[in-house]
Amino acid sequence: MDILSKLNTRYATKVFDPTKKVSEADMEKLLEAIRLSASSYGLQPYKVLVVEDPAIRAELRKAAWGQSQITDASALLIFAAKYETNAGTVDEFVDLVSQTRNIPKEALFGFSDMMKGSIQSQSQEQIETWVSKQAYIALGFGLVSAAVLDIDACPMEGFSPADFDRILDINKLGLKSKVILAVGYRSEEDKYQHLAKVRQKKEDLFIKF
């Protein structure tokens, strides 16, 4: 598998074929790749909402200025940041590390205190900015992984987060919608698939020291 050829053929799909669905096996691979995403401290301060229900997606489309990707893609992934990330979040993560690596929690106190100190030193606005960045890292993993799996995808910011949060009722979970990834398969009618990819030249993009 040549990852560069996969990335050269991917594009932000504007028109999906609603009759084509991502297989359950490939969907599980995509979600697992997102689960394996890098994140600061490994905390993963976000949730990924997998929305397949047609009725819910019809409501979400209204809050996304009628964009067809919302309803026509095989599935809609919404990356929602955990704005209530705090010391309790760290405690839960330390418990997970302890269980996964079979390490006494006492041995992780230093690591725990460092993470808590970092979080507690930030304002709520700074925390929300930070957790949002982590969600975008996961989005990047999803985009690349979809390309590798020959799944078309479209990252989307064109929606009303407040309306999405209301429709999905996720504020009660301490979550705020940040970015969408629609996944499925392109329609033959999508003219954008035939356009040349426009990117900066390497000598313009990269600065070496």
Taking the C-alpha atoms of residue 191 and residue 111, their distance in angstroms, rounded to an integer, is 51
Given the structure tokens 């600061």, which residue do they identify? 40
pTM of the model: 0.96
Structure token pair of residue 44: 């993963």
Place of tokens 């460092």: 114
pLDDT tens, the chain, 209 aa long: 699 999 999 999 999 999 999 999 999 999 999 999 999 999 999 999 999 999 999 999 999 999 999 999 999 999 999 999 999 999 999 999 999 999 999 999 999 999 999 999 999 999 999 999 999 999 999 999 999 999 999 999 999 999 999 999 999 999 999 999 999 999 999 999 999 999 999 999 999 99
Please name each of the domains of the chain with its CATH number. Answer: 3-83+124-193 (3.40.109.10)
Helix axes 24-35, 124-148, angle to 10 degrees: 140
